[in-house]
Amino acid sequence: MAQAIVQTEIGGPEVLTLVEVPDPVPAAGEVVVRIEAAGVNPIDVKQRSGFRPLPPITEPRHQGFDGAGVVTSIGAGVDTVEVGDRVAIRDTRGTYATALAVPAAHLSVMPDTVTAAQGAALAIPAGTAYQSLLSLGVGSGDLLLLHAGSGAVGQAAIQFAVAWGADVIATGGAASQESLRELGAIPVVYGEGLEQRIRDAADGREITVALDGAGTDEAIAASLALVADHDRIATIVRGPDAAALGIRAFSGGSPIPLTEQELAWRAEAVPAALGLIAEGRFSIEFGPELPLEEAAEAHRLIEARAARGKIVLVP
């Protein structure tokens, strides 16, 4: 029997339970992956708690969307991976598990130098960053203002933007300033007087585009004041408010769904990041690595903001 983390009701971290489930069998177009690592994301916490509503729970709801592991069996019609391949998983519910049937289209084969933890840490953060930057047209010659640069999405966004030839001013807490600089950004501390500190960091250059991952009024106000083209300002956390603010939103509760092109960009992000990792041009800051049965503790740490870096569950 396989094992998986499920919930049967909305509530706190304590509703997450480790249960035995039938060993997965791949349908046509699927493969079974033995999970070696599962990434824990804020959206997992929001859905578990009901903060991000889903349809009512009518059967045990499995947890997790990102993961990595080894292909153990292949369904009919799959010719993109082989048994034994090490793969990163994206956009597949149930990665908090020991094994999972996954659509083959949601897998990326990992280079030998990429660890399971790295592969499991990519899909949602890197996909969000990559798609958001492409939707905003970020490229060579841009000066990007990035709020919440020290989070998983923010760190990915810095590294993609730098790889594409943009310069980045990234806001974050005092403790994150050196790490933001190491990623290639000009760091700026949050707090009162933010707009002026950003202006000072720009040193006379025009800030051409902004991406908000913080969601604070201060961050939004600074972006509106500093970026002339408000169509090049977006948030990934204030989706419901974006239209009234006169800015764009990508997910983050936005009522406007992503386009087919944007969904394709999110899928493209994982192999792009895997390639950069293999080249030594993309890094991931890790937090605690916890056993699968401690998924509730991982959620508590995220809710309490008590862990810095990406939390990974290991079966």
| In the chain, where the domains are located | 2-121+284-314, 125-249
Q: Give CA–CA dist 38/67, Å, rounded.
A: 4
- Give the global pTM: 0.94
CA angle 143, 212, 222 (to 5 degrees): 70
Beta-sheet strands, E only, within the chain: 2-7, 17-21, 30-39, 61-62, 66-74, 86-89, 99-103, 107-109, 143-147, 167-172, 186-189, 209-212, 233-235, 248-249, 286-291, 310-314
Contact 283, 257 (CB under 8 A): no
Q: What one-character DSSP code corresponds to residue 294?
A: G
Contact 29, 107 (CB under 8 A): no
**Alpha-carbon separation of residue 98 from 33, 59, 92, 105 (angstroms):** 9, 19, 14, 20
Structure tokens at 214: 């913080």
In words, the CATH class of domain 2-121+284-314 is alpha beta
Specify the CATH architecture of the domain 125-249: Alpha-Beta Complex (3.90)
Query: Is residue 252 very low, low, confident or very high in pLDDT (cuts 50, 70, 90)?
Result: confident
Q: Give CA–CA dist 20/140, Å, rounded.
A: 50
pLDDT in tens, 277-308: 999 999 999 999 999 999 999 999 999 988 88
Query: Is residue 253 very low, low, confident or very high in pLDDT (cuts 50, 70, 90)?
Result: confident
Q: Do the first three CATH levels of 2-121+284-314 and 125-249 match, i.e. the same topology? A: yes
Q: Give CA–CA dist 315/100, Å, rounded.
A: 12
Asked if the model's pLDDT at residue 118 lies above 90, the reply is yes
Q: Which residues pair with 103 in a beta bridge?
A: 30
